[in-house]
């Protein structure tokens, strides 16, 4: 059973427009969610996170929204830039030390 | 400050051979993790450690062993490699979180392993 789902394997957005990446989860025990960005041949790097007690967290061009009743979160990137082209992973944390549960990732392509 | 480093970067093994992947971190992190990433599968947790001398199983531990003899190092061993273990392996580390679940994990660059 996939606990974190990213249903869009890829997304293409024009430079300067908004990119919206979606993530759904099934595990109600998750109390913290994170987004990671990954370039080819590199390890994932932390982008932004949100606690389950909040519904929005903003950091510069990046905003994450959490809808607990729908078990859905989204990452908004405004405006999108060429350097944002990467694979984005959504991850959930249950509060323990046993790592993160990752989605399969969404490949974001920013077109000039 | 190198962060999280992994050795080697690439390796090709034959079925049945053994090898050890080394992960080192210089951030004095308590927690360390090994993940594998397969095409279309995201990252899956193999084993993790909450401190020197401790290890625990993750989601996909079969066929792997780990050791954390020093706080800064976390070793992943394959005793008898199988083609199903062809993957990219990532090590990560994090602080002991003040609030559980709020730890940000820092990842190494990965080891690409092919088992023929």
Q: With an 8 Å Cβ cutoff, are B100 and A96 in contact?
A: yes
The 10s digit of each residue's pLDDT in A65-106 is 999 999 999 999 999 999 999 999 999 987 666 778 999 999
Quote the CA–CA distance of A31 and A91 in Å, as a whole number: 11
Contact status, residue B106 vs residue B28, Cβ threshold 8 Å: no
What is the average per-residue pLDDT within A4-25?
97
Predicted local distance difference test score (pLDDT) of residue A95: 67
> Which residues lie closer than 8 Å to B64 by C-beta, 6 or more apart?
B34, B46, B47, B76, B77, B78
- Tokens standing for A5? 């789902």
Q: What does the pLDDT read at residue B100?
A: 57
Q: Are strands B87-94 and B111-115 parallel, antiparallel or unpaired?
A: antiparallel
Residue in B42, B54, B58, B109 to test binding to A, most A beta-carbons within 10 Å: B42
Residue A26's φ and ψ, nearest 5 degrees, are: -115, -20
Are B31 and B103 a contacting pair, CB within 8 Å?
yes
Q: pLDDT at position B99, please?
A: 61
- Give the separation between CA B29 and CA B96, rounded to whole angstroms: 7
Read off the DSSP letter of residue B100: T
The two three-digit tokens of residue B56, written as one number? 């625990």
Residues of B with Cβ-Cβ distance to A89 under 8 angstroms: 42-43
Predicted pLDDT of residue B7: 97
Residue with tokens 């992994």: B6
What are the start-end ranges of the E strands in B1-116? 4-7, 10-13, 19-25, 31-38, 42-49, 56-57, 65-67, 73-78, 87-94, 106-107, 111-115
Q: Does the pLDDT value for residue A17 go beyond 90?
A: yes
pLDDT at residue B91, rounded to an integer: 97
Tens place of pLDDT per residue across chain B (116 aa)? 779 999 999 999 999 999 999 999 999 999 999 999 998 888 999 999 999 999 999 999 999 999 999 999 999 999 999 999 999 999 999 987 656 556 688 999 999 999 99
- Nearest chain A residue (CA) to B4: A43
Question: What is the residue whose two structure tokens read 């996909």?
Answer: B60
Cβ-nearest to B102 among A32, A36, A102:
A32
Distant-in-sequence, close-in-space partners of A107: CB < 8 Å, separation ≥ 6? A9, A10, A11, A86, A87
- Please give the pLDDT value at position B2: 78
């Amino acid at each position: 059973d996939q606990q974190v789902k990213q249903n869009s394997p890829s997304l293409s957005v024009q430079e300067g427009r908004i990119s919206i990446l979606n993530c759904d989860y099934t595990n109600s025990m998750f109390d913290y969610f994170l987004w990671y960005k990954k370039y080819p041949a590199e390890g994932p790097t932390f982008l932004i996170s949100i606690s389950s007690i909040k519904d929005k967290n903003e950091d510069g061009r990046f905003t994450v929204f959490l809808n607990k009743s729908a078990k859905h979160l989204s990452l908004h990137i405004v405006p999108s830039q060429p350097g944002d082209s990467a694979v984005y992973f959504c991850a959930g944390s249950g509060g323990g030390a046993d790592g993160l549960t990752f989605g399969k990732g969404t490949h974001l392509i920013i077109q000039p | 400050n190198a962060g999280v480093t992994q050795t080697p970067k690439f390796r090709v093994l034959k079925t049945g051979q053994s090898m050890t992947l080394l992960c080192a971190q210089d951030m004095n992190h308590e927690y360390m993790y090994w993940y594998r990433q397969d095409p279309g599968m995201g990252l899956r947790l193999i084993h993790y450690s909450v401190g020197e001398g401790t290890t625990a199983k993750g989601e996909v531990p079969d066929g792997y062993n780990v050791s954390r003899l020093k706080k800064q190092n976390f070793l992943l061993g394959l005793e008898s490699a199988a083609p199903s273990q062809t993957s990219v392996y990532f090590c990560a580390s994090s602080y002991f979180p003040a609030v559980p679940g709020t730890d940000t994990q820092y990842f190494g660059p990965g080891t690409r392993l092919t088992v023929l």
